[in-house]
Amino acid sequence: MERRLDCIPGDCLAKSDEWTTGLKGTYSRNGYIYASIAGTVKIVHNDDNTKTLEVLRVDRNRHLVPQMDSIVTCRVLSMTESVVKVSIHCIEGQVLKQPFRALLKKENIRGMETEKTQICNSFRPSDIILAKVIGFGENNSYLLSTAQNELGVVVALNHSGIPMKPMSWTEMSCPITYAREQRKVAQLANPSDTEHIE
């Protein structure tokens, strides 16, 4: 016997002690099973009286949502000492009709010396960043990382609203005043994804 229903990443599907999870499309946390991809939940009643849960991926053009390991283009909304709140506007270069909420924690900003990372020296509100989806948080939000060299700030404005140029992995400079500001700069050859965010 089998029945199906749709889900998106982060949806709670069942208690983990009542089900056997499939190899793909789900993950367990705090005693519950959650969907890790958008798709159709497949519930199978096995011959040995156990039940198996898995999620079958749907057509990406039908449900364009962030998946695990997706590279996403985001705008920084606000920051605290421990977390950055962002909105996701593009997934793998595809523009979204509505943004998704996401969080970038301090420990996931850089790949090395994470204990020395300061969020105020990595990002500023309104920065456009590239990040990688590494998990799912509460209230249908996503968890992101910029630990890889090619991830981080790709567009930043100074206090006067002038776009800055990257000078190193940790600094960007105003082309007019030459004033420098610290950032976690993405090492990208072609940041074309950011052209779609206005």
DSSP states of 135-165 as a string?
EE-STT-EEEE--STT-EEEE-B-TTSPBPE
pLDDT tens profile 155-171: 998 877 788 899 998 99
**Domain, as residue range, for 187:** 71-191
Contact 72, 88 (CB under 8 A): yes
| Domain assignment of residue 119, yes or no | yes
φ, ψ for residue 195, nearest 5 deg = -65, -20
Residues 12, 82 within the same domain? no
Residues 101, 153 within the same domain? yes
Residues 23, 77 within the same domain? no
Residues 83, 8 within the same domain? no
**Six-digit token pair at 107?**
């420990």
Question: What letter would DSSP give residue 27?
Answer: E
CATH number, domain of 31, equals 2.40.50.100
| Domain assignment of residue 29, yes or no | yes
Dist. CA 156–CA 144, nearest whole Å = 19
| Domain assignment of residue 20, yes or no | yes
Dist. CA 74–CA 77, nearest whole Å = 9
Residue 40 CB partners (closer than 8 Å, separation 6+) = 4, 5, 6, 7, 55, 56, 58
Contact 29, 36 (CB under 8 A): no
pLDDT of res. 107: 93
- Given a cut of 50, the residues of the chain with pLDDT beneath it are 1-4, 61-62, 191-196
Nearest to 38 by CA among 14, 5, 70, 6: 6
Residues 52, 112 within the same domain? no
Residue 107, SS3? helix
81, burial (CB in 10 Å: exposed 0-12, middle 13-18, buried 19+):
exposed
| Domain assignment of residue 99, yes or no | yes
Nearest to 155 by CA among 120, 194, 193, 182: 194
Residues 36, 78 within the same domain? no
Question: What letter would DSSP give residue 6?
Answer: E
Counting the structural domains of the chain, the total is 2
| Domain assignment of residue 179, yes or no | yes
pLDDT of res. 72: 93
pLDDT of res. 8: 66
pLDDT of res. 59: 53
pLDDT of res. 3: 44
